[in-house]
Amino acid sequence: MRHTEFWARMESALGPAYARAWADQFVIGDLGERTAQQALDAGEPPKVVWAAVWRTLDLPPSER
């Protein structure tokens, strides 16, 4: 997964106005107590970060 796909999925799940703010502020335990943005900045693959976001938001399997 590329970063562009990650952000498109985030915007689809949370809306374009909220996706970036949520990624900057919401700490996810599955990412080592980091935010999605911190994990991406640290080099975590977008696919891994998306999987953690997907679990955290309890999104449907179709959005996996």
pLDDT one-digit tens code per residue, 8-56: 999 999 999 999 999 999 999 999 999 999 999 999 999 999 999 999 9
Whether 3 contacts 40, CB under 8 Å: yes
Q: Which pLDDT score is estimated for 13?
A: 96
- What pLDDT is stored for residue 11 in this prediction? 97
pLDDT score for 64:
87
pLDDT of residue 4: 98
Read off the pTM.
0.93
